[in-house]
Every structure is written in structure tokens, then in C-alpha cells.
Amino acid sequence: MKSCHWLVVGLACSTLSQSILAQGKLSRMQMEADLQQLFAVTRRTYAYVDEKKEQYGVDLDRMEADALKRLDKVQSDADFGVLVKEIIAALRDGHCEASADHLIAPRQRAWPFHLHSVKEGVVVTDMAPSVAGSGIEHGNVLKRVNGRPIEDWINEAARTVSASTDGARRRLALKQMISTADESVRVKIEHANGTTATFTVKTGPYLRLPAEPNLADPPEGRFVAAHVLKRGVGYIRFPSFGWETAERHRAKTDAEMDAAAQPARDQIDAAFAAVAATKALVLDLRGNRGGWDNLGAYVLSHLEPGDFRYYATQTRSSPELRAIDKFPWLPRDDGWAPKVDWIPRKTTFSFFQGKTYTGALVVLINEDVGSAADCLAAALADLHPNVRFVGRPTHGAAGGPKDLAKLKHSGVGVRLCTMRVWTPKGRLIEGQGTRPDVPVQWTREDVRKGRDPDLEAALKDLSR
């Protein structure tokens, strides 16, 4: 059992100096009241209280006592916002969030590159045009920033990262830590030949972040990409299951929601039609952080015939949830609703009814695969007779998140999971996720030379 003793670590000086706003708006008494409200809401509403305590030692009583002690070091409203974010992050759940942007000064600039973990360390990827000619190259190992080791930056950022697994936490920390209020940063890098150099580079606006270095997403406006690779293997990529159209947001009934999803279903149908003649398929979920479960289940309906169970859920009823969700099946008293199996083809929503794809299947996964995409991966692992997973473990995040409270004095919003989610065979997804049959660790040479080692390993696995 792992513990959450890291929660008691004091707030980092650099974090405080970058996030301080106006001093003294919240009194000590108000902050104590908000912390008590936060822990009371979490105990009453959070679906995974028992599981997180058993798996990771997430002890709410100890966390609350530690948090109240830490108020001695809170000197501003911004500090309090950081404290609440660290408390929520300590739940080790990728869907739990604290919305405290109104307390913490925004960092509107970013380092002029993205970062990626490889065998040799952390490398520079996807550089801004401003870095051209600076001496920094794609695939250089980043050693220090502003005089501090890169691992210090990662560990600091990780304290406020909401994540369900350690791999996802590190990956999200690499994304979060590049935000800054500074006009420039001083970086020490290691070249491919082993020599090191230090450069000062200007910061700028955030760059668009790819799911992996060297990986292109579908064109703007496209939900899915599909083609046949040179070896006669089909390839379908879903970067997201989000479908945030005006029609969907206007929809109020299941029938209207179903109609709003028709363009996405059309694209999925076309993608599978494009690879129908192949004997093997690579399904690329890397970077897919979720979206609409109906779309993940629609993908599965192209791979699984009959009335398959997609997942089982059980919702925790609370006053907070009953105030925002008027589900008729939600118990009026606090406690658990009945456990429910979701069988997509038995619902009123549309699912594929034609001939399913029966060739060999490899699914590419990484630490960003979460929520609706995590559920699809888990269902495939349980149901598909010849699926293989390649890459790195998924995020392992599933649980019906809801905005359940706003802390009375600070106004910090609290989002918590209200639902347990199990795979078709009864495995809990949260905190577990799906692990690869063929683990792949990128190297700096993969990044430097524009390779995709995940796809290479998938093709090799299919040829065995």
C-alpha cells in the first residue's frame, strides 16, 4: 500500500512566488471552514473513497489534519488555491479537479517547446519557430531550467496534477510545468554527441501539443483518420471521443442527442469501410483523453457482434448530486444506486448493425488514454478474442465526474467522481487502466529521427 505522505510537503517557494495575488482576503477562519467543507463533501460524494484508501493509502482524516496544519504557511489567497489543488491531486484521480484560477495568477506564456519522456531522460520536441538557430535541436535532452534539475520541475508540477496513475501524472506534469510568467528561460541541454550547452530562450504562446512526437492528427474538422499502411494493414486513429457541436449542446432528449452524433458515426463507418478488406488493423487511441462514451461504444460495435456489455456502473447518491442530476433511479437517501450494466445495442441510441471487422487487432495506447477511451480499451481487453495492446499503460481514469460544490468563502470549485465503473468482466477501471502486451519505451533517437516506435512495434507484433 502506498501512502500520501507527500501531501505534507510544504508549498514550494517557486510555486508561491509565481502564484501570489492580493494578500489577506481570506481569513484563517474562512480557510479552515472551506477545508472542512471540502473534506465533508468528499467523504459524502466521492465514489472511490474506500478504493483509494485501500490501493494508495488515501486517508481523508489524515489529509484533513495535515491540510489544517499547512494553513500556517498559507500567506495569500493564491497560496490557499494551490493548497486545495494539492489536496484534490492527492486523491489520485484524474477526474477530480479544483477550479481555483480566480485565486492563482495565470501564467500566460510557455517554454518554446514541448517535452517528452524517453529512455535517456526528458527531451525537447515540437519547438516554436523562435527556437530555430538557437542551438537547441529536436531530441536534445533537457537537463536543467533556470539552474534547477528537470526532475525538480516535474516533481513540483506533479503535486497539483490530478491523475489516476503515476505514468499519467508524470506526463501531465511535463505539459503543465512549461507554463510561465517569465519572458525567457535559461536551459541546459545535452546534444546527441554527449556535449552540453546552456541557452537563454524567449517564452511565448502555447504550442499545439501532439499525442506523441512525430504523430499527426486528422485534419481540422475530422473526427477520425483511416488509411491502409504499406504492409496491407489497416490503420484508424481516434485522437478524441469529444463531439462538441452546436447540435449536441442544443439537444435535450436522447433522440436529439442521437441525431446530433450522426456525423461522427458516419465518419466512423467510413473509416472501417476503408480498412474492411485488410486482415489486420491498428487502432490508434494515443492521446485520446475521452469524450462521449456513446462514440467509444460505437467504435466497439464495429468490432463486436451481438448485445455486448460495454461496462457496469454504480452511482453514489448524495444531496449534492441529487441537486444537479434529476435521474429518477437515483436514491433519495444517501448511498449507492443499483449496479447497472450498459448494453449499447439495447438502448435507444444508434449502434452499428452490419458486418463487424474480424481481422487481427492491435491497439496503440499511452498515458493520455483516459475516460471514454479508457473504457473502450478496457472493453476490448475483456471482449475481443485476439486484441493486442502496444505502448504504455493507459491513464486508468473512469467515474462520472460532476461539479459538486463551490467552497463558501474562497469560491473554489470542486469536481469529484460520483460513479464506479467496471469492465465487462468486472475489473475496476479507475486507478488500473489497460496495460500493454508489448511495452514500448521511446528513445531520443526515435524523437530525433522522426520514428514512431509504437507503430513499428505493432506491425512487428502483427507479423509474428
pLDDT at 3: 40
Radius of gyration of the chain (CA): 23
If you write DSSP's letter for every residue of 311-357 in order, what string do you get?
EEEEEEE-HHHHHH---TTS-SSSEEPPPEEE-GGGSSS----SPPP
If you write DSSP's letter for every residue of 84-139 in order, what string do you get?
HHHHHHTT--TT-EEE-TTTS----EE-SSEEEEETTEEEEES--GGGTTSS--TT
The CA-based angle 139-145-147, given to 5 degrees, is: 135
CA distance 404 to 44: 11
Helix-, strand-, coil-residue percentages of the chain, each rounded to 5: 35, 20, 45
- Tell me the backbone φ, ψ of residue 185, rounded to 5 degrees: -135, 150
Residue 410 has which C-alpha cell?
A: 474562497
Q: What residue ranges define each of the domains in the chain, with the CATH number in brackets?
A: 5-99 (1.20.920.70), 109-202 (2.30.42.10), 225-401+419-462 (3.90.226.10)
If you write DSSP's letter for every residue of 125-140 in order, what string do you get?
ES--GGGTTSS--TTP
pLDDT at 24: 53
Burial of 147 (0-12, 13-18, 19+ CB in 10 A): exposed
CA distance 139 to 121: 10
Contact 160, 116 (CB under 8 A): no
Strands 196-202 and 225-228: unpaired
Q: How many CB atoms lie within 10 A of CB 150?
A: 19
Task: Pinpoint the alpha helices (H) of 57-94.
Answer: 60-70, 77-89
| Ranges under pLDDT 70 in the chain | 1-24, 325-326
CA distance 82 to 88: 10
Residue 126 has which C-alpha cell?
A: 515540437
CA distance 72 to 179: 27
Strand partners, 403: 415
CA distance 376 to 354: 19
CA distance 55 to 431: 9
Q: Please give the single-letter amino acid code of residue 188.
A: K
